[in-house]
Amino acid sequence: MLTLGFFLLGLIALVCGAELLVRGASKLALSAGISPLVVGLTVVSMGTSAPEVAVSIGAALDGLPDLAIGNVVGSNIFNVLFILGISALIVPLTVHAQVIRQEVPVMIGASLLLLALGLDGRLSFNDGLLMMALFLAYTVLLVRQSRRESKETQAEFTEEMPAEANWDKHWAVQILLIAVGLGLLVLGSGWLVDAAITVAKSLGVSDLVIGLTIVAAGTSMPEVATSIMAAIRGQRDIAIGNVVGSNIFNILGCLGLTALIAPAGVPVAASVLNFDIWVMLVVALACLPVMLSGREIARWEGFVFIGYYVAYTAYLILMSQQHAALPMFSKVMMMFFIPLTVLTLIASLLRKPASNKA
């Protein structure tokens, strides 16, 4: 009962924190002349990724490297497949051209970098230094790009924001909303993760599987709450920017900082290197054709994303238990679902309106 109570309190804190964070961040974006997309890619994504940072650093320092790396890789898979999927089911997500042209390629590049750096089985101090330097450079680039945007583009973002009361129009109130929202998100996700780990440990699940599934989903609850709330409020740039920005930050910022702090770096398990990182990379690559097919994530594509996350989680559970159904499950996925999805995406690209090819 106590575990269930913390789980429910965590959900309540996440919902309230997401509402405050989205409201404060969107208003601050307009006040500072920065687009909501950039705020979603920076302030919101870094804030909602705070649980991943705390869990990965804590796990590395406590001698649980599988939990540290599994948390980030699993969170990135969860962010794209589940969060974008559920957000698209609520409302089809129109994708800003900058996300297709720049942010998704950066996310793919960060995934490739993690794969390359992990080939020797460890993320070293120098690897962490490189990742943090790249993240800081990327953040500076985003802010400079936003400040150079034309008045027409800024007006477009302004029109996207719903008309609301002006009690929070002062920048100090907006920053307070962001701070309180982030605090509730971190607190709520912590309660959720602790409750989930308690249940998982009692079932005998390994640290790696816990990191890739329960902890990854739990630490991504701020992203879930924030993106869903942003989608409901019509602030789609924050909904998408939050996910893509969080994935970039998780790799470059979270793992980079963890590698800098951990005394012996972050060991990368062979199973993660041979399977889960590749899944994360494929999921990142899948964003391009989905977003290019009409420059939006449609409801049916959101349904496919969620279906694949359920399948991935089922595979991890079956594999951890060495279940007899694992070979048949793998064969069905490889021979039916994946080829069907690839053919559907190709068909969507071929049907793409000519006006969207620019």
Q: Which residues of 91-119 are buried (b: 16+ CB within 10 A; e: fewer)?
A: bbbebbebbeebbbebbbbbbebbeebbe
pLDDT band at 168 (very low <50, low <70, confident <90, very high): low
Residues 255 and 125: their CA atoms lie apart, in Å, by 11
pLDDT band at 69 (very low <50, low <70, confident <90, very high): confident
Mean pLDDT of 279-293: 77
Give the amino acid at 312: Y
Residues 240 and 65: their CA atoms lie apart, in Å, by 30
Largest CA distance in the chain: 61
Identify the top-confidence range among 51-60, 135-144, 176-185. 135-144
* Domains in the chain, CATH or no CATH each: 13-149+179-356 (1.20.1420.30)
CB 253 within 8 A of CB 113: no
pLDDT band at 153 (very low <50, low <70, confident <90, very high): very low
Whether residue 161 has pLDDT greater than 50? no
Share above pLDDT 70 across residues of the chain, in percent, rounded to a whole number: 68
pLDDT band at 342 (very low <50, low <70, confident <90, very high): low
pLDDT for the residue 354: 40
Whether residue 306 has pLDDT greater than 60? yes
Degrees, nearest 5: CA angle 198-82-64: 40
The region of weakest confidence among 84-93, 103-112, 179-188, 244-253 is: 179-188
Between these two residues, 108 and 312, which has the higher pLDDT value?
A: 108
Mean pLDDT of 136-158: 67
pTM for the predicted model, two decimal places: 0.75
Whether residue 303 has pLDDT greater than 70? yes
